[in-house]
Amino acid sequence: MTDRSNPFDEWLPKVVADPILVDDGEDGLMAEARANLWGFGFSDEELRDVSEDDVVRFVRAVEDARERQILERFGETRPMTLYCWVDEQAGELRLSMVSASNGRTGFGGPVDEVDLSEVARQYLACRYHDGIPMEELRPMTQEDVDAYEEPSAIVPWVWVNALPRTA
């Protein structure tokens, strides 16, 4: 990381301090996905000092810290699935974690699994780091609603990894 304006070093302790929710209830998957969600955004100006390697190193640091926490709390008895993606509309890099016993992520449908470096590239290439320009906004049509509710829609560019990695 090349510049003090790059907040990854400030964000990591905040993620690690956030407790991990494990929920075996009926709505456990979604409860875990929401409670274990983190979003990180840069302005276009801040991104000038951020590289693909910076993004990957940050996510790997989160992965390492969360793995240690899982092992300290549960040993290898409660594997979790950590996943990372780009929320293009929010202009954010997002991470979440759910119990591996669910066999899926919190998206409720299929994901296009890619390497973490691809997620980093997609994040850096995101057009909306400074928000969506007003001229691009329009009211939703019924066709938009139908497409959004389509359960077979694949979420693109998602990195998925099991924790602990030895499980």
Calculate Rg over the CA atoms of the chain. Answer: 17
Q: Please report whether residue 34 resides in a domain.
A: yes
Distance CA 90, CA 141 (A): 20
Q: Please report whether residue 44 resides in a domain.
A: yes
Q: Please report whether residue 49 resides in a domain.
A: yes
Q: What is the pLDDT of residues 124-133, one digit of tens each?
A: 999 988 887 7
| Residue 66 belongs to domain spanning | 8-132+142-163
Task: Report the pLDDT value the prediction gives residue 57, as an integer from 0 to 100.
Answer: 96
Q: Find the angle CA(32)-CA(20)-CA(37) to the nearest 5 degrees.
A: 55
- Given a cut of 60, whether residue 5 has pLDDT beyond it is no
- Given a cut of 90, whether residue 159 has pLDDT beyond it is yes
Q: What is the pLDDT of residues 97-108, one digit of tens each?
A: 999 998 999 998
Q: Please report whether residue 3 resides in a domain.
A: no
126 burial via Cβ count (<10 Å: 0-12, 13-18, 19+): buried
Q: Please report whether residue 137 resides in a domain.
A: no
Q: What is the pLDDT of residues 10-22, one digit of tens each?
A: 899 999 899 999 9
- Given a cut of 80, whether residue 111 has pLDDT beyond it is yes
Residue 89 pLDDT grade (very low, low, confident, very high; cuts 50, 70, 90): confident
pLDDT average, residue stretch 37-54: 91
Which secondary-structure segment (H or E) carries 10?
helix 8-17
Q: Please report whether residue 127 resides in a domain.
A: yes
User: Which whole-number Å values give the CA distances from 17 to 20, 133, 135, 165, in the listed order?
Assistant: 9, 34, 39, 21
Distance CA 125, CA 99 (A): 30
* Number of compact structural domains in the chain: 1
Task: Report the pLDDT value the prediction gives residue 138, as an integer from 0 to 100.
Answer: 81
Summary mean pLDDT of the chain: 89
- Given a cut of 80, whether residue 161 has pLDDT beyond it is yes
Beta-strand ranges (E) seen in the chain are 38-41, 80-87, 92-99, 111-113, 155-163
Q: Please report whether residue 126 resides in a domain.
A: yes
Which residue carries 């929010």 as its tokens? Answer: 90
pLDDT average, residue stretch 38-60: 93
User: Which whole-number Å values give the CA distances from 145 to 48, 137, 141, in the listed order?
Assistant: 36, 15, 6
Higher pLDDT, 10 or 57: 57
Task: Report the pLDDT value the prediction gives residue 1, as an integer from 0 to 100.
Answer: 43
Q: Please report whether residue 2 resides in a domain.
A: no
pTM over 0.85: yes
